[in-house]
Amino acid sequence: MSDVLRGLLRKLRLPALTERHGTRAVLGLFAFINGLVSIGIMSAAAALTGQPLIFPSLGPTAFLLFFTPRAPTASPRNTIIGHLIGVVAGYVSLVIFGLTDHGPAFDEGVTWARVGAAALSLALTSGFMVWLLAPHPPAGATTLIVSLGIMPRPSQLAFLMLAVGLLVLQGLVINRLAGIDYPLWKAPDAQP
């Protein structure tokens, strides 16, 4: 069972809930609620501000933060650095292949330049996450979001990183409320 769920059940004095309904059912409900709340908050903030504070790779990031909060890949350090690497790698790839003024691949089609940008962005993201000891798998989706031209403007990338920071803050609050020793920055065993 997720440490977060176990901690919340203990705090709320509801361990009988898992005995009555089963661990999988309660854990699934917990994942459902966390997904609804965390992404709902981000989506509402995006709707209110008109800024791109919601994007596909936030979903897997939220899942890691709430289902495996003690894993190094879910630490604030790896989450923020991983997405930052993805953003920078995606944008550098757009620049190298001359795609900064082009529309999304979904509108313009996949050209050879787009193939190069996508491949290079994922290669850079993967390599730098390993070299910097900051693996965060959802960052692989973030770099493709940028290199495929879905969010190519620097202002969008700044809001993307703001959204990652806000999600990490939500993860910190929820995990700490659950009694999980969620790190403020780096997981104690973040070294491979």
Q: How far apart are CA 179 and CA 3, in angstroms?
A: 9
- The pLDDT score that the predictor gives to residue 177 is 82
- The pLDDT score that the predictor gives to residue 175 is 82
Considering the domain boundaries, does residue 191 fall inside one?
Answer: no
Written as tens digits, the pLDDT of the chain (192 aa) is 466 666 666 665 456 666 676 677 777 777 788 888 889 999 999 999 999 899 999 999 999 998 888 899 999 999 999 999 999 999 999 999 999 999 999 999 999 999 999 999 999 999 999 999 999 999 999 999 999 999 999 999 999 999 999 999 999 998 888 777 889 999 886 444
Q: How far apart are CA 63 and CA 112, in angstroms?
A: 34
- The pLDDT score that the predictor gives to residue 192 is 46
Considering the domain boundaries, does residue 41 fall inside one?
Answer: yes
Q: Enter the tokens of residue 78.
A: 């790896």
Considering the domain boundaries, does residue 184 fall inside one?
Answer: no
- The pLDDT score that the predictor gives to residue 32 is 83
Considering the domain boundaries, does residue 39 fall inside one?
Answer: yes
- The pLDDT score that the predictor gives to residue 115 is 98
- The pLDDT score that the predictor gives to residue 47 is 94
Considering the domain boundaries, does residue 190 fall inside one?
Answer: no
Q: Which range of residues forms the domain containing residue 141?
A: 3-177
- The pLDDT score that the predictor gives to residue 2 is 60
Q: How far apart are CA 147 and CA 94, in angstroms?
A: 6
Considering the domain boundaries, does residue 142 fall inside one?
Answer: yes
Domain count, the chain: 1
- The pLDDT score that the predictor gives to residue 24 is 76
Considering the domain boundaries, does residue 76 fall inside one?
Answer: yes
- The pLDDT score that the predictor gives to residue 152 is 95
Residue 87 carries which side chain, given as an amino acid letter? Answer: V
Phi then psi for 86, rounded to 5 degrees? -60, -40
Considering the domain boundaries, does residue 171 fall inside one?
Answer: yes
